[in-house]
Each structure stands twice: as C-alpha cells, then as structure tokens.
Chains A and B, each alone.
Chain A
Amino acid sequence: MRYATPASAKEAAGMLSKEKGAAFLLAGGTDLLVKLKMGMVEPDLVVDIKRIPKIDQIQTSAKGFTIGAAVSGSVIGQHKGLKAAWPGVVEAANLIGSDQIQGRATLAGNLCNASPAADSVPAMIAAGAKAVIVGPQKKRTVPVEKVVQGPGKTCLAKGEVIEAITLPKPEAKTGDAYLRFIPRTEMDIAVVGVAISLKLERGVVKKAKVALGAVAPTAVVVPAAARALVGSKLDDAALEKLAAACSAACNPIDDKRGTVEYRTRVAGVLAKRAAKIAFQRAGGAL
C-alpha cells in the first residue's frame, strides 16, 4: 500500500486517475480506516488530501460558504456564521459519531461514502448545497442530490475529487432543521432522517425543500412534501399532508436497523417535528 500527500486537488485527481490498482481518497478517514481494519478494502494507493492548502478551511463570501473537503465536524460546529445561516446542516454534521469522530469526519466524506443513512446528506440537499468536483482535466459543480447514485455509488468518475461543499447565503426568513431517529441518544446510524428548509413570507411558507435519509437507496427529495407546506402557516392539516407525503416517498428495506413499516411511519412523525423547528427558525410563530 502506498500513501501520497498531493499539494492540490488537481494533483490528487491526477494520482487517482493514473493509478492502476485500487485507489482511495483519505480525508477524515472515519469510513476508510474502518473498512481497512475490517478487511473490506485493500488499497494499493491512499491519497491523503489533508495537506492541500485551505482544504481544511471554511470560506465565507457574499454568495455563501465554501467548506473545504477536509473540514471536520467539530470545526463546522464552532463556525458561528454557518451555524446562524444553516443550523440544520450543522446539527446533521455534528450528529455523526462520537466527539473523537467529530474531530475527523467531513461533509465531503459523508457524501462520498454514499450511505443511504448519511446524516449530513439530506440536510445539505434541503439547504441547496453543491459539490465542487475537481478532475484531472476539468472542474464541475454538482448539486448534492445528484452526487449519490446508490448505496456506495457516486457520480464521481475515476480520478474525480470533491474539493469543497458550497452552501448558498440563505434568503431572508429562511430556516432549516434535520432530525433523525435512532434508538439510542448518540453513536448510532439513522433509522430515518428528515431534513427540511423553508422560507417564510408574512408568516406563510413561501418555499420549502424536504429530503429524507435512510428510507431509500439514496437520500430522497420529496416535492410533494414541500408542496404540502407551501402556502401554509404549518397548521395541522398541512403537517398531516407533509407526513403523508414523506411516508409515501419512503422506499426502505427491512434490516437490523429498522423495518419498512416502522421507517415509513416514523419518517412522517419526524417530518412534522422538523418542519416546526425550521418554521420557528425562519421566524414563524406556532
């Protein structure tokens, strides 16, 4: 196994594209190292991106935020601007693993691992996050919901590297929230995850985006759930419609973490709770 520390995302992309054996990218390593230890992967090359300048920083501009691919959960959790703008995304990122894991785990890594149950992914989708992808030749920007294509599968071509995640500057009166269900209080994998972002105008929901995690092979955007909220003041009827739409969008599996029936039902329950939090964060009164 060889270990490389490129100085730029482009150099990393070049290394990965040229490698004939099994090549893996290392950011926080919270997924890769576990897979290595379990014998699930046997890399010929590991490309560590943490030495790339600025890749461990959050940049703020007039357009929004650019979060480097090696920025850890704990750094995100301490960023006042990001917390004020997208508290749901920050909470989702901070739910992953333990304090020790938070010191390493990254948003880009959570996305690239492409687990259906990734906590930060639905939250990023609801917030309109994009992935900045660098290849050996060109750079492209892809909405987060387009990146994951199935369990463990992404749209990244051989040699492509996510350099950063961008989040827009939120419009006025916007709020987001992410809730997940786990049987314990922490250190667990989501049985269901629900992310909602919404924008209010005169106390009424003007725009909304709803994304579900752990209920299908990838995170699911639920337009019908968003439609249920738009035009409402989050009255009971709207919440019931939201819950029904979320449950209807579920296509989960029965496994050791939850049943189809349970996941489908709890997706609706959590959606109602997340909508209320997002609504209040947007300045709405319940």
Chain B
Amino acid sequence: MGHEQKYVDKKYEVVGTRFNRPDGIDKVTGKARYGADASAPGQLVGRVLRSPHAHASIVKINTSKAEKLPGVKAIITSADLPDVTGGDQGLADILENCMARGRALYDGHAVAAVAAVDEQTAAQALKLIDVKYKKLPHVTDVDEAMCESAPVIHDRIITRGVEPKPTKPSNVAARTQMGHGDIEAGFAEADVVIEKSYKTEQTHQGYIEPHACLASVNPDGTAELWVTTQGHFVFRNVCASLLGLDIAKLKVTSSEIGGGFGGKTHVWVEPVALALSRKANRPVKLVMGRDEVFRATGPTSSTSIDVKMGAKKDGTITAAVAEMRYQGGAFPGNWAMLGCMTAFACYDIKNNQSIGWDVVVNRPKVAAYRAPSAPMAAFAVESTIDELAKEIGIAPIDMRLKNVAREGTLAPYGPTYGPIGIEHTLKAVKDHPHMRAKLKKNQGRGVACGFWFNIGGQTCTDLNISVDGTVNLTLGTVDVGGSRSSMAMIAAEELGIPYEQVRANIADTTSLGHNDMTEGSRGTFSSGMATIFAARDAISVLKQRAAKMWGITEEDVIWENGQALATGDSHSNLPPLSLKEIAAKSGRTGGPIAGHNEVVADGAGMGFASHICDVEVDPETGRSTIVRYTVVQDAGKAINPDYVEGQFQGGATQGIGWALNEEYIYGDDGCLQNAGFLDYRIPVCSDLPFIDTQILEVPNPLHPYGVRGVGETSIVPPLAAVGNAIANATGVRMTHAPMSPPRVLAGIDTLEHAS
C-alpha cells in the first residue's frame, strides 16, 4: 500500500511526551527473561574450548577421553560444521570464526565444544579434550601487521582497491579512498597546516548480559533458537545458512536484551549451540562467560590515523587529508571505509581526501560498536581542528561554525546533504550556559562534533485490534533501547487512542516477515515508519467498518481523535463511532480488524551532535576526572524524550570510558591480559557527573514525523571532547586513546622537559 513517507508538520497528542517503558516492571522485578533465562526439557549444558594461543596450527584434536566421560552427550569440532556456504567468503569467515578450521587465529578462538548433562561435567570434559597445537608467529598491532615482515594471517587476502593488483598476499584486506577537490591546491592556499598522528586502542561494547542461547534441532530439519540478539531474523538467516537448514524451519525468538551496542548483531556461539543440539539430539543451552565475551566476541577496531589539515587565517579550512588504518581482527572488515566516510562529515571542506586501510591481525573478529569506526576518526580530526584553531588564534567553536556543513554541502562520501542539524548543535553549544561556567585550577573545557549516517532497511509490522479496543502491535525489530514504548506511542498517536491501550510485542521469526537488525540507529526510524503505515492501514479498515455500521459509503467517513465521523450533509447527524465501538462489533462487520505494513525505509536522517566536556587533571598522577558534560544532538523528532536523552547519555558514557581507561591489553604472547570487568576499566557510576542533554529537532524530510536515528551519534564526539579538554587543562595534546593516567602523566612530563 502506498503510504506517504514525507514529513508533515503537525501537533502531537502522544508523541513527544514521556511514558514509563512497558517492559519496566519485568525488568526491575527480575521477571524479564534474558538469553540465559530459557530452559527446555532434557536440556544440556554447552561449553566451548578455546585456543590459548594467538596463532597456531591445530595439529590434532583428540576427543576420545572426553567422550568416555559419563554425562557427555556430544562433542563437536569444525568437522561437525561442514562448510555449506557455497563460496560466500563472508559466510565462510563467520563459520570459521565460530569454530576454528585447522588454525586458531586468535587467543580465545573456539576449537571444540561439548554438550553435557551439567556444568561440572561439561567443564571436566573440556579439560579432557587433547588439542595439539603448533604455535605460529602472530601480530596484534595494526601498524605492525601492515609491515612487510609481519606474519601473513590469510594466504587468500590480496589487497583490494590497489592498482595494479598486488601479486602477494598480505594482512591488508582493502584500501578505500574518498573525498573531493584538489588537495595540493588546498594546502597551497593554507596559512597554517597541522599534521598529527593518532592511535586508539581496542574497546569492547561491554554489554552487561553475556551472549546466551537455547538451541534445539530435530532430525527432521526443524529447529528452534532462543537467543539474546539485536536481530533474530538475521540470526535465523545466518544460522540456517551455516547449518544447512531451511530458513522457515528455524524459529528464532529474541529474548530481552541486556545491551548490545552492535555486539549482538553478529553470531558467535549460536551456530555452535545448534550444531551441538543437532549431534546430541537434545536442547542445548550455551551461556558465555565474561572472559569468553572479551576474548571471543566482536570488539571494535584499534586504529592508527594520520591527519593533515590546512586553514586560512580567517579560519577557513582549505584542505584536509586523513589516512586511517583499522584492524578488523582475524577476518577482513570494512571498518576503515566507515572511518573514511565519517571523518570530515561535519564540515564543508572544499578539498578533502580520506584513505582507509582495512587490516587483519590475530585478535577477535571485530563487530559493530555504536557508530562503528566513527569515534576514532573523530578523535583524530576533532583534535586536529582544535590544534589548528589554537595556531590561528580563533575559538575552537568559531572555527567549527566557520566550516560547518549545511544543507547543500557535498559530503566527503558522495551525497549532497539535505536539511541537517550540525550547525544547530554548534550554535546551541555556543549559547549554552555550560560554555560560560567558570573553570577551576587544573580544569579545562573541550568541544567536539560527531556524525553518523543512520540507516533504514526492511521492516514488517502487524497491528491487531481486539474486541475491547485494545491494540496489539507486533514488531520484528528487537527492542534494544525502549522501542516498544516508542512504537506503542506512535500507534496510539495515529489511532487517536491512549498509549496505555496499546501493547507492543516483539514477535518470533515465524510470526512476521523479515525485519533487519536493530542497528544503524534504524529502530525508531524504520519500525516507527512501518508502525505509522500499519496503523493507517488499520484506520482504513476501521473506516470501512464504520461505514458498514452506518450503512453509508466509505468515502463519507473520516477518522479523527480515535473515532469515525460521518461527513457530508446527509450524514452529519450521525453520532461518531469510537474505535472501541467499532471493535466491539467487528465479528459482525467482517471479522478481526488489523493493519499491516512491510517497507524498505529509505531516507534515514543523518545524525549530528556537539559535546562539551569539562575535565580536571591531577598534574601529579595524570588522572582525569570529568566534572561536567553536555550533549547537544539533533533527534529529528524525539518520540519519547526520556529514551532519546538516555541514548545521548549512554553514548557519551561509553565514549568517555573509551577516552579515559577502556582498552584491550595484549601481552607479547598475543594473548589478551584483561578479559574481565576488573581490569577492562569501564566507568562506574561514581566516575561520571550527571550528563546533561539538549535535544534539537531538525525534521528529517523523509519520515512522516521527521524522525532521525539517535542511538549512535553520541559516542562519536567524547574521545575528542575529552582530549580537547585535557589539552586545555594541561597544555598537553593527547594523541593516544585511552588517555589513561600513565599516558597523561608522560605527556605532562614531556611538556615540562620541553619548557
């Protein structure tokens, strides 16, 4: 059905107000069922044996002793997951990542798995599996992996995007280049040029809930999977492909999710659990430990980035170049490409060029992490802009405003921007009382901007009206950040009924058509659009039924404020029919009343934010404390402002953690040394001030309510905002994140020695 996607300015009754989340009671009382909260009769416990080496040939796996242990029901290796991917290298990589095939590619790579009657037996069985490894040279650093002398991890990798095509394999999977203008001419025009190199360490999404699932496969090819995921339809398709199952015969149910941030868009143990269940012919529950989550799921890239920018004395940036190296773990990704696309996206720079290198190393396969790749690029670019502003003698905020991207600006990655909010956020920052607040001794303030594209994609939604007028909204996009509430609000808005009259549910994969992941900040944009259209679909049915009840033609019925009104001179004395009244009679007017929509939502509105950070640095220890933090972001339209603010605060918090202390620490042996929350230092509540937020609404022209995604952009500015604040507090420009106390203290030392 052709529904109107364009933005229409109107007054809202429900949208824009604040409601409690429908899943709130279950979550605060502990009733909510997460990935590990399902069980089935006869279920077994699954456990995974993982490589203790960074890179090793698997010479032999002897499982005979473990098989003899009473209570062990199945043991699998890669032999039990035959490659049925049919030449799809992307899928083959996923399969190899789920279970090593002849070679362990990183510390924590799965080598074998066990299903046993209980936890203890499974743990004991793992110890009885005898794996003979032959250690191979490893490389974990992105720059080292690009060297001629580095051990080549995959013979099949020949660098893409380089002319002429290389003849020898290397760890460089791809080169990307984008931008426009004449770089040399741009730098020739510049009065000041700044060139700097940056490094960022690898970080993990740090979701509290580890990956967990309950898998059950039957001999007839039917199967079920209960799993914590950001997209059960995609998990279904991928798992079915890896195991050779028919897609429709695998029923996947998404549990409540205890955080994902991109890390639950990829399968890790799910195909293993299914393969164990297939072999044991019993349900298998597999829950990862925290150390497994760190070692063997998908953190974000570590990077090494060079930036060169030139500007005129009036602040106009004349040229900008970035060369960015991103590691994707043991398998190729397109992470550097995303860095290229986002690096200069906030600005209108006549001559710009971004070059990206996607590199493989002996680390876990990188996954999406909230605006993947953008925070590192922004760290490098936004730090350099501050240095440029300092050199010219212009306020950093004015430097940014001078060069800001606007509607009509050619984006570095190709498109010409429509209406966007970056200038609005910068102006709001400039006017914010935070910018005028006095700073104390050892304190500094930093500002930084961030961009994320946001995406649309496939959505399929049902809306069913019960005979009492209450509404079931059936969704297929997993509720990661409170979307059930937002979707219920949207349905209530369209139908003209109270929010409490709508119950939103996330359906399993057998109940709806395909829905893409909740990723790319697409949930509220895409699912919201499908909800609007499904509700409008239902309204047309409601109008038909009202016409039937009145005995008039459908054309003479309009829908307003939750009721049908008869129009035209001959019907104006008919009393209105409410949704409830129409629903009550539905059995006699044509049966259940429903609306439905399937859509590929195009036109996701781009997300822009500007952040303000105040930091206090202890000059004797290098320890930084965030004393005040403000997020200003364009939401397009905030459906439920509570959750929009929550996204702003959550993204900023994760970015601050990355800026200050979070990092993967590898030993010389290539093994991860801090696979736990004790030494992988995520901020605790007392580390942070209340994070202030300001929602701006520059409507997205391609959404009926003007919605833009809001989930990711807020993690992009913090690294640079913190770095700029530290620079202003200490005079030290930090070029290596996290800016942990030892690094900051070393920076202060260098400065003191220089002066």
Residues in chain A within 8 A of chain B (CB atoms): 38-39, 181, 183-189, 255-259, 261-262, 265-266, 269
Q: A256-B673, A262-B742, A269-B620 are contacts. A183–B686 as well, Cβ < 8 Å?
A: no
Contact of B683 with A by CB under 8 A: yes
In chain B, what residue has the closest Cβ to A273? B620
| Cβ contact of A186, chosen from B291, B620, B684, B742, cutoff 8 A | B684
CB pair B681–A184 under 8 Å, yes or no, is yes
CB pair B661–A258 under 8 Å, yes or no, is no
Chain B residues with CB under 8 A of A185: 684, 686-687
- The 27 listed contacts between A and B (C-beta, < 8 Å) are A38-B291, A181-B621, A183-B623, A183-B660, A183-B741, A184-B661, A184-B681, A184-B683, A185-B684, A185-B686, A185-B687, A186-B684, A187-B678, A188-B678, A189-B678, A189-B679, A256-B673, A256-B674, A256-B679, A257-B679, A259-B742, A261-B742, A262-B741, A262-B745, A266-B620, A266-B621, A269-B621
- Binding site secondary structure of chain B: loop
B730 → A minimal CB distance (Å): 16
Knowing that A186-B686, A262-B742 are A-B contacts, what are 18 other residue pairs whose CB atoms are under 8 Å apart, sorted by A's residue number? A38-B291, A181-B623, A183-B623, A183-B681, A183-B740, A185-B687, A186-B684, A187-B684, A189-B678, A256-B673, A256-B674, A256-B679, A257-B679, A261-B742, A262-B745, A265-B745, A266-B621, A269-B621
CB pair A184–B684 under 8 Å, yes or no, is yes
Chain B residues with CB under 8 A of A256: 665, 673-674, 679
A180 → B minimal CB distance (Å): 11
Residues in chain B within 8 A of chain A (CB atoms): 123, 291, 620-621, 623, 660-661, 665, 673-674, 678-679, 681, 683-684, 686-687, 740-742, 745
Residue of B621, B661, B665, B745 with most chain A CB atoms under a 10 A cut-off: B621
A155 → B minimal CB distance (Å): 27
Chain A residues with CB under 8 A of B661: 183-184
CA of A236 to CA of B442, assembled, Å: 21
CA of A166 to CA of B660, assembled, Å: 40
Give the A-B contact count at a CB cut-off of 8 A. 44
CB pair A184–B745 under 8 Å, yes or no, is no
CA of A238 to CA of B583, assembled, Å: 86
Chain A residues with CB under 8 A of B679: 189, 256-257
Chain B residues with CB under 8 A of A269: 620-621
Chain B residues with CB under 8 A of A258: 742
Chain B residues with CB under 8 A of A181: 621, 623, 741
Chain A residues with CB under 8 A of B686: 185-186
In chain B, what residue has the closest Cβ to A183? B661
A207 → B minimal CB distance (Å): 27
CB pair A39–B123 under 8 Å, yes or no, is yes
CA of A214 to CA of B686, assembled, Å: 23
CA of A107 to CA of B740, assembled, Å: 30
In chain A, what residue has the closest Cβ to B665? A256
B123 → A minimal CB distance (Å): 6
In chain B, what residue has the closest Cβ to A258? B742
Chain A residues with CB under 8 A of B678: 187-189
CA of A189 to CA of B673, assembled, Å: 15
B114 → A minimal CB distance (Å): 14
Chain B residues with CB under 8 A of A265: 745
Chain A residues with CB under 8 A of B623: 181, 183
Closest 8 pairs between A and B when the two form their complex, measured CB to CB: A185-B686, A262-B742, A269-B620, A256-B673, A256-B665, A256-B674, A183-B661, A185-B687
CA of A21 to CA of B696, assembled, Å: 66
B305 → A minimal CB distance (Å): 24
A77 → B minimal CB distance (Å): 17
In chain B, what residue has the closest Cβ to A39? B123
Chain B residues with CB under 8 A of A187: 678, 684
In chain A, what residue has the closest Cβ to B686? A185
CA of A259 to CA of B661, assembled, Å: 14
In chain A, what residue has the closest Cβ to B625? A185
CA of A183 to CA of B687, assembled, Å: 9
Chain B residues with CB under 8 A of A261: 742
Chain A residues with CB under 8 A of B740: 183
B168 → A minimal CB distance (Å): 36
B228 → A minimal CB distance (Å): 21
A1 → B minimal CB distance (Å): 10
B547 → A minimal CB distance (Å): 63
CA of A256 to CA of B740, assembled, Å: 12
CA of A186 to CA of B687, assembled, Å: 8
B381 → A minimal CB distance (Å): 26
CA of A39 to CA of B687, assembled, Å: 31
CA of A259 to CA of B740, assembled, Å: 12
